[in-house]
């Protein structure tokens, strides 16, 4: 009996399949499902821009309306990837301009975006609506002007933590008077002042504006007038919160905040003076997301503020909150799902000692929905980790950064192996884990044994030997991204588990003991991987036994990169260098 | 074809050694006893480092060195994004400016009123004799050494149009070359790079200039430069 469904029926059914994970499964069933699925997919995610060519993506998904791309490896955020490594948006934009001119949305993360790219976007996609650039670099405010002037249906323009060559605030004035469709504008990472009158006019003619994130240069006074024009805002990122205002201005501002009935998310608050914090009290009960990570607010003021935020689900804050402040969060913010605590000092000497492991324990014990944690702390204990594991088995993301490398449990002076064991044993749905502190190979044996759902793992200054890598590569079945720095393993575990790497998106290793010879061997034996050696030494002068500085390995269908700088080497650059016998003494 | 989300599992062959040809030398099976590992040549681990609590560590940031790395000397550690790091740096610069106001040998004795890194993180760099200047992102650098490296690559590296062979590294900071690195600060004064703590420097630098040593004689002396020159002369 022929069970084949007509493609029209299939199309209709697939229109209910949203998640790309499901769509990928759907496309594997049979050829006709593959065909129907690819013709109907609207949102395409390419999580490694070098895993596949732009042409291939454009060919497979002719109906694409939204493209999300990621470029550099995650450790680029911490300056571990040298400038010029790659991640260029241009080939993608050029290809889509030609083959997918109906593209409406582009979201890029950790990519190099030039003004030419932005001009090309402005010129090529007639119905362009959404541009979100996260941790991108390479463009100037001139490129923004090009987008502003040409994209007549723009709804979202968001620059999140980008490095932008700031040539002034004029770009904002390029939004034409006819543009009334804006829903979200985020220019918080820019430095220059924009003209307030331009901003006010833009806001007034944008009735759909829901999210506005200003940069630091926007004064408190200006904020007041903007909020008066946009009381419907759901997300607000303020500018600098520190001008000296007179009594009248302050009470007017307080009034304006009470009008923000829809506000759910608040951020910015640079330089906020303690006397202005009460201005925020009226919006606190409605907030689900609060980002105070750039606000140097001290603990007592934080307690006052947070005790009013009973609906808070996401809190980002600095360690100025201290244990006491986190206790207040524990008792007031029962809906909390995500907590991130960032260091207020740039190194361990400046870490706030009044915030310890106890703060996180308090929140874990009291907040039943807590599932995502990022916590920077001077030191930690196995007991605390065990308590967190026991009380929060629902954790999905646990990133602990003990700031001092190799720091043991500060009470027992033992490695933190047992603590992380508790975490991976108890939190069965854990998908993302960052470990730190003093860790032996044992810790990784535990992670390999129990971390079956782990997709992303970040490791620094840990382990004793190749065993650590072997446990991870052989044990963590769902491992997708592994990034390791400054760990003392060599070639053996990597080579023995080489096949694993084809099941993962990528592996980053820097300042470890992997030799050049091993890299060559892997390159030769695993053609579906790109093995990139990032090292200042030229391959001719580099002996096989020497450890290389940085290695980035990723699976790819696109073959070797054509845009590698000098300091990135793959075997395709020097195919005549044969693979020598690998001898490990 | 996996142009979309890459959640597909290719296979669960996580224990399969890739190919027989992979020469491992140790002929290891999968039961790796940790004892066997230790006997082979191994890389230094935490156990080789003196007391972990020591904060007065040596200057080496290599993990092969004798002391554990201080987190402020290690690139990319703590793992805080650069935007956030800049904010921290500004915050510390304010504190440092207040604490070190008297000790700093600067013409500008007043605390900078606004120490935020306003304006672009990029500053112009010009080298005497070279018509075209470059721009360097101060925020992407963590130390003078880091910056000097970048500048040396920019102006004296292999990517130069006329350079065919590798040029000897410049040592812009220690006075051993014929060029010195100078900067123009917020007040418009030209100073030798390297006198003040890095964090203070990046908040006050407006422009950089690589000038010939002879020209730089009028600028404030550098004690560190003297020490380094002596050390170099002994090498």
Residues of A in contact with B65 (CB under 8 A): none
Q: How far is residue A433's CA from residue B188's CA, in Å, rounded to a whole number?
A: 49
* CB-based contact, A464 to chain B, within 8 Å: yes
Name the domain count of chain A: 2
Q: Cβ of A163 and B139 within 8 Å?
A: yes
A242 three-state secondary structure = coil
How confident is the model at residue A539, as a pLDDT?
65
Q: Which residue of B has its CA nearest to A340?
A: B80
- Degrees (nearest 5) of the Cα angle B194, B195, B198? 65
- Label residues A369-378 b or e (16+ Cβ within 10 Å = b): ebbbbbbbbb
Under the banding of pLDDT at 50, 70 and 90, the label for residue B229 is low
**Cβ-based contacts of A496 with chain B (< 8 Å):** 17-18, 22, 24, 28
- Note the pLDDT of residue B49: 38
In a domain? residue A520: yes
Note whether B22 contacts A497, CB cutoff 8 Å: no
A48 contacts B23? CB cut-off 8 A:
no
Any chain B CB within 8 A of the CB of A171?
no
Let me know: does A193 contact A273? Beta carbons within 8 Å: no
The token pair that represents B206 in the structure block: 């407006």
**Residues of B in Cβ contact (< 8 Å) with A218:** none
Question: Do A24 and B68 make contact, defined as CB atoms within 8 angstroms?
Answer: no
CA of A259 to nearest chain B CA: how many angstroms apart? 31
Mutate to test the interface with A, among B3, B89, B95, B147 (most CBs of A within 10 A): B3
How far off is chain B from A51, nearest CA to CA, in Å?
8
Contact B176, B228 (CB under 8 A): yes
Q: What is the pLDDT of residues B12-31, one digit of tens each?
A: 333 233 443 333 333 333 33
Q: Which of residues 79-98 of A touch B (CB under 8 A)?
A: 79-80, 83
Q: Which of A79, A376, A405 sits opposite B69 (nearest CB)?
A: A405
Q: B79–A460: do the CB atoms touch at under 8 Å?
A: yes
Task: Give the closest of A161, A463, A492 to B81, CB-based.
Answer: A161
A-chain residue closest to B11, CA distance: A503
User: Which DSSP symbol is given to A100?
Assistant: -
**A426 lies in some domain:** no
Chain A: residue whose CA lies nearest to B136: A165
Cα-only R_g, chain A: 26
pLDDT digits (tens), chain A, 585 positions: 566 788 889 889 998 998 998 999 999 999 989 999 999 999 999 999 999 999 999 999 999 999 999 999 999 999 999 999 999 999 999 999 999 999 999 999 999 999 999 999 999 999 999 999 999 999 999 999 999 999 999 999 999 999 999 999 999 999 999 999 999 999 999 999 999 999 999 999 999 999 999 999 999 999 999 999 999 999 999 999 988 889 999 999 999 999 999 999 999 999 899 999 999 999 999 999 999 999 989 999 999 999 999 999 999 999 999 999 999 999 999 999 999 999 987 666 666 778 999 999 999 999 999 999 999 999 899 999 999 999 999 999 999 999 989 999 999 999 999 999 999 999 999 999 999 999 999 999 999 999 999 999 999 999 999 999 999 999 999 999 999 999 999 999 999 999 999 999 999 999 999 999 999 999 989 999 999 999 877 666 778 888 999 999 999 999 889 999 989 999 887 766 554 433 222
| pLDDT value, residue A414 | 96
Give the span between the Cα atoms of B35 and B228, in whole angstroms: 45
A94-118 b/e with 16+ CB inside 10 Å = b? Answer: ebbbebbeebbbbbbbbbbbbbbbb
* Residue among A12, A155, A21 nearest A431 (CA): A21
Chain A segment 485-524 residues within 8 A of B by beta carbon are: 485-486, 488-490, 492, 495-500, 502-503, 505, 511, 513, 521
CB atoms A584 and B45 under 8 Å? no
Q: Around Cβ A355, how many Cβ atoms within 10 Å?
A: 26
Residue A77 lies in a domain: no
Residue B196 is encoded by which pair of tokens? 């003040």
Cα distance between residue B200 and residue B194, in whole Å:
11
Can you tell me the distance from the alpha carbon of A438 to that of A377, in angstroms, rounded to the nearest whole number? 14
Band of residue B98 on the pLDDT scale cut at 50, 70, 90: low
Query: What's the rounded Cα separation, in Å, for the pair A19 and B227?
Result: 63
Q: Assess contact for A94 and A120: CB atoms under 8 A.
A: yes
The predicted structure's pLDDT at residue B207: 85
In a domain, A235, yes or no: no
A534 assigned to some structural domain: yes
Give residue A244's pLDDT. Answer: 87
Task: Give the span between the Cα atoms of B206 and B203, in whole angstroms.
Answer: 8
Cβ–Cβ of B43/A526 closer than 8 Å? no
End position of a domain, from candidates A26, A41, A56: A41
Min Cα separation A38/chain B (Å)? 10
Give the integer Cα–Cα distance in Å for A555 and A505.
6
pLDDT tens digit string along A477-487? 999 999 999 99
Domain that holds residue A9: 1-41
B4 pLDDT band, cuts 50/70/90, is very low
pLDDT value for B230: 52
Of the candidates A342, A266, A328, the one whose C-alpha atom is nearest the C-alpha of residue A300 is A328
Non-local (6+) Cβ contacts of A344 within 8 A are A296, A318, A319, A320, A350, A351, A352, B88, B91
**Chain B contact present for A41, CB below 8 A:** yes
What 3-state class would DSSP assign to A310?
Answer: coil
Query: A278 burial class (0-12, 13-18, 19+ CB within 10 angstroms)?
Result: middle
Per-residue pLDDT, B210: 87
pLDDT tens for each residue of B171-189: 666 666 778 888 888 888 8
Q: Write the residue in A80, A349, A404 that is nearest to B75 by C-beta.
A: A80
- Is the pLDDT at B100 greater than 50? The verdict is yes
Check A345 against B10: CB less than 8 A apart.
no
Closest CB to A441: pick one of B34, B41, B55: B34
Who contacts A466 (Cβ-Cβ below 8 Å, separation ≥6)?
A489, A490, A491, A492, A493, A494, B32, B37
Name the residue of chain B whose CA is nearest to A342's CA. B80
CB-based contact A557 B2, cutoff 8 Å: yes
What pLDDT is stored for residue A206 in this prediction? 97
For residue B113, the model assigns a pLDDT of 34
Least Cα separation, residue A261 to chain B (angstroms)? 30
**pLDDT value of residue A1:** 52
Q: What CATH number does residue A19 fall under? A: 1.20.1280.50
How far is A59 from chain B, CA to nearest CA, in Å?
Answer: 10
A489 to chain B: which residues are within 8 Å by CB?
43
Cα-based angle B92, B97, B100 (whole degrees, multiple of 5)? 115
Smallest CA–CA distance, residue B211 to chain A, in Å, is 25
Q: Which of B45, B117, B118 sits opposite A464 (nearest CB)?
A: B45
In a domain, A61, yes or no: no
Cβ contact (<8 Å) for A460 and B43?
A: no
Q: Is residue A293 part of a domain?
A: no
How many residues in chain B?
235
- Mean pLDDT computed over every residue of chain B: 58
Residue A51 touches chain B, beta carbons under 8 Å: yes
Residue A54 sits at the chain B interface (C-beta within 8 Å): no
Q: Which of residues 562-581 of A touch B (CB under 8 A)?
A: 566, 581
Residue A347 and residue B139: Cβ atoms within 8 Å? no
Q: Is the ipTM value over 0.85, yes or no?
A: yes
Residue at A551 is within a domain: yes
Q: Do A344 and B12 touch (CB under 8 A)?
A: no
**How many residue contacts between A and B have a Cβ separation below 8 Å?**
236
């Amino acid at each position: 009996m022929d069970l084949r469904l007509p493609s029209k029926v299939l199309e209709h059914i697939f229109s209910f399949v949203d998640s790309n994970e499901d769509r990928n499964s759907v496309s594997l069933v049979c050829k006709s499902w593959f065909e129907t699925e690819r013709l109907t997919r609207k949102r395409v995610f390419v999580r490694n821009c070098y895993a596949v060519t732009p042409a291939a993506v454009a060919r497979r998904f002719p109906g694409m309306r939204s493209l999300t791309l990621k470029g550099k490896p995650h450790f680029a955020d911490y300056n571990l990837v040298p400038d010029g490594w790659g991640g260029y948006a241009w080939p993608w934009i050029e290809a889509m301009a030609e083959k997918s001119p109906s593209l409406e949305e582009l979201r890029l993360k950790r990519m190099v975006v030039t003004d030419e790219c932005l001009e090309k976007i402005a010129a090529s996609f007639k119905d362009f609506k959404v541009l979100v650039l996260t941790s991108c670099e390479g463009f100037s405010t001139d490129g923004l002007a090009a987008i502003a002037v040409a994209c007549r249906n723009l709804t979202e323009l968001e620059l999140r933590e980008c490095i932008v060559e700031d040539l002034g605030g004029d770009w904002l004035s390029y939004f034409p008077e006819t543009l009334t469709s804006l829903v979200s504008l985020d220019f918080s990472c820019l430095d220059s002042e924009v003209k307030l009158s331009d901003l006010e006019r833009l806001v007034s003619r944008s009735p759909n504006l829901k999210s506005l994130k200003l940069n630091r240069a926007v004064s408190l006074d200006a904020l007041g007038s903007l909020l008066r024009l946009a009381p419907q805002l759901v997300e607000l990122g303020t500018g600098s919160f520190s001008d000296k205002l007179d009594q009248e201005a302050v009470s007017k501002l307080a009034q304006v905040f009470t009008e923000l009935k829809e506000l759910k998310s608040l951020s910015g608050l640079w330089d906020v003076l303690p006397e202005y914090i009460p201005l925020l009290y009226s919006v606190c009960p409605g907030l689900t997301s609060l980002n105070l990570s750039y606000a140097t607010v001290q603990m007592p003021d934080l307690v006052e503020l947070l005790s009013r935020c009973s609906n808070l689900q996401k809190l980002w804050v600095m360690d100025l909150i201290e244990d006491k402040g986190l206790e207040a969060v524990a008792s007031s913010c029962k809906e909390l799902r995500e907590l991130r605590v960032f260091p207020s000092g740039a190194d361990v000497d400046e870490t706030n000692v009044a915030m310890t492991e106890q703060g996180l324990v308090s929140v874990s014990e009291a907040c039943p929905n807590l599932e995502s944690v990022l916590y920077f702390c001077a030191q930690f204990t196995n007991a605390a980790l065990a308590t967190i594991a026991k009380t929060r088995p629902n954790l999905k993301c646990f990133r602990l950064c003990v700031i001092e490398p190799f720091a043991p449990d500060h009470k027992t002076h033992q490695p933190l192996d047992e603590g992380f064991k508790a975490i991976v044993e108890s939190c069965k749905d854990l998908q993302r884990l960052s470990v730190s502190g003093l860790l032996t190979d044992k810790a990784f044996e535990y992670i390999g044994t129990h971390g079956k759902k782990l997709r992303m793992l970040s490791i620094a200054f840990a382990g004793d030997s190749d065993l650590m890598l072997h446990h991870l590569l052989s044990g963590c079945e769902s491992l997708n991204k592994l990034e390791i720095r400054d760990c003392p393993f060599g070639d053996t575990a990597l080579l023995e588990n080489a096949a694993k790497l084809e099941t993962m998106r990528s592996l980053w290793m820097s300042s470890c003991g992997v030799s050049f010879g091993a890299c060559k061997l892997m390159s030769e034996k695993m053609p579906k991987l790109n093995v990139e050696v990032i090292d200042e030494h030229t391959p001719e002068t580099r002996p096989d036994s020497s450890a290389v500085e940085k290695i980035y390995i990723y699976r790819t269908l696109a073959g070797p990169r054509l845009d590698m700088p000098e300091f990135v080497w793959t075997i395709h650059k020097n195919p005549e260098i044969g693979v020598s016998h690998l001898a490990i003494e | 074809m996996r142009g979309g989300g890459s959640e597909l599992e290719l296979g669960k062959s996580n224990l399969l050694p890739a190919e027989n040809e992979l020469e491992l030398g140790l002929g290891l099976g999968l039961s790796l006893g940790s004892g066997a590992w230790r006997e082979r040549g191994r890389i230094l681990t935490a156990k080789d480092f003196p007391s972990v609590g020591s904060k007065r560590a040596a200057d080496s940031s290599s993990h092969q060195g004798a002391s554990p790395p201080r987190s402020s000397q290690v690139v990319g550690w703590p793992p805080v994004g650069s935007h956030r790091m800049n904010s921290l740096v500004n915050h510390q610069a304010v504190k440092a400016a207040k604490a070190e106001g008297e000790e700093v040998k600067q013409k500008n004795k007043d605390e900078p009123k606004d120490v935020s890194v306003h304006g672009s993180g990029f500053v112009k760099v010009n080298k005497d004799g070279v018509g075209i200047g470059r721009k360097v992102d101060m925020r992407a650098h963590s130390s003078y050494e880091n910056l000097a490296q970048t500048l040396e690559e920019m102006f004296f590296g292999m990517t130069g149009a006329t350079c065919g062979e590798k040029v000897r590294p410049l040592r812009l900071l220690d006075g051993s070359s014929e060029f010195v690195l100078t900067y123009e600060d917020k007040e418009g004064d030209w100073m030798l790079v390297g006198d003040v703590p890095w964090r203070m420097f990046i908040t006050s630098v407006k422009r950089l200039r690589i000038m010939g040593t002879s020209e730089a004689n009028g600028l404030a002396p550098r004690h560190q430069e003297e020490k380094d020159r002596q050390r170099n002369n002994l090498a």
